[in-house]
Amino acid sequence: MPSESADLRLSSYSFPLPEEHIAQRPVEPRHAARLLAVDPAGVGPAPHARHLSVWDLQWELRPGDLLVVNDTRVLRARLQARRPTGGAVELLVLEPWLAGAAGQWLCLARPAKKLQSGDWIEVVAEGQPPLAVQVLGSDPDTGGRIVQFPPDCTDAAALEPLLVRYGAIPLPPYIHEHDASDNERYQTRYAARPGAVAAPTAGLHLSDDLLAAIRQRGVELATTTLHVGLGTFRPLESEDLRRLELHSEWVEVSAELVAAVATCRARGGRVIAIGTTSVRSLEAVAQLHGGKLAPHAGPVNLVIQPGYRFVVVEGLLTNFHLPKSSLLLLVSALIGRERLLALYAEAIERHYRFFSYGDAMWIAPEALLEGARG
């Protein structure tokens, strides 16, 4: 099958990953994680990479570059509850259900089949009085439940104090080791705006010391906001990727960020995204405005896969992603599917750690496919 045809099939983005390569705990300090630096491609799909640590990222950047980071903050969105019969229920709070529907939130529930419209349940946590909430209905698109919280919990900022009292950080299901330190460690050091149910994990590698070193080198930082939601992690179902659609995500690109990108380009700097969420923020908003970045706040659902031409992002720091995921498609769009899978095979051979608490990959602008450059 020609490479172009294989790029359009979901099964082409599979790779074997031994379970012991899935990171269960983060390394300390944050910048001590390993870094696979992708070099410009030679002839063929063979990997061309150097093996560094994240601390070395500062030397890969140039004075005048601009790092764009996602300042979303992960909510303590995992709640334990009980039904009137005493049966246990777990809720994962995702997003407000409808604008103007005060206190109504879409939640994933387990076991969902036990929760019917009209049911009352009690959210419980050690040291807190039980909190009664009502199930109002279900959402056929996600299989989730619409739950009525106190009516003043209209947005993530208003709901967060309740979640701090009752909830826990929702680590991905492939992380089996949980610790109280996750409440801090599963947040970036610049997390400021509550609303995510998962961390923008590439940013977890940036320690205060590394951020200071990067700034001292003459690199600027700017923030975007993308609240990581269910769509990032839902399994892709369509084998034919030409039919792929993704769950929308809420994004904000400020006028200050637009100005920072323009100023960076004017001085000859490079726009570097920290994580795929920053890529999606910048590229999706630019596509909504005719290929040019502009201020925007609202939902986006851009699909980025091989063949996409990037109009804002020129380089990327990212983690190692799940097989057959939308994130794997996005990184393949930057450097090519065959080259990415070859690099992943090398990373596995060298015992890199994968997924949220794992190691990182650095894709410099000169490593991008020629056809991917805007």
Distance, CA of 347 to CA of 35 (rounded, Å)? 10
Distance, CA of 276 to CA of 196 (rounded, Å)? 14
Distance, CA of 270 to CA of 63 (rounded, Å)? 9
pLDDT digit string (tens) for 159-201? 999 999 999 999 999 999 899 899 999 999 999 999 999 999 9
The size of the chain, in residues, is 374
Confidence of residue 86 (pLDDT cuts 50, 70, 90): very high
Q: What is the pLDDT of residue 231?
A: 65
Q: Where, residue-wise, is CATH 3.40.1780.10 in the chain?
A: 3-74+183-372
Segment among 18-27, 36-45, 323-332 with least mean pLDDT:
36-45
Token pair recorded at residue 302? 């851009």
| 3-class SS of residue 104 | strand
How far from 52 is each of 118, 123, 360, CA to CA, in Å?
Answer: 55, 46, 10
Compute the radius of gyration of the chain from its Cα atoms: 21
Token pair recorded at residue 157? 């900022």
Token pair recorded at residue 198? 């998962």
Query: Which residues make Cβ contacts (< 8 Å) with residue 167, sequence separation at least 6?
Result: 75, 76, 77, 78, 79, 93, 125
Q: What is the pLDDT of residue 233?
A: 60
Q: Which amino acid is at 364?
A: A
- Tell me the average pLDDT across 141-148: 93
Q: What is the pLDDT of residue 1?
A: 46
What CATH superfamily classification does 3-74+183-372 receive?
QueA-like (3.40.1780.10)
Q: What is the pLDDT of residue 2?
A: 56
Q: Where, residue-wise, is CATH 2.40.10.240 in the chain?
A: 78-166
Query: Which residues make Cβ contacts (< 8 Å) with residue 199, sequence separation at least 6?
Result: 74, 186, 187, 188, 191, 228, 356
Q: What is the pLDDT of residue 232?
A: 63
Count of C-beta atoms within a 10 Å radius of residue 143: 11
Which top CATH class is 78-166? Answer: mainly beta
CA-nearest of 155, 304, 136 to 227 is: 155
Q: What is the pLDDT of residue 98?
A: 84
- Tell me the average pLDDT across 193-211: 97
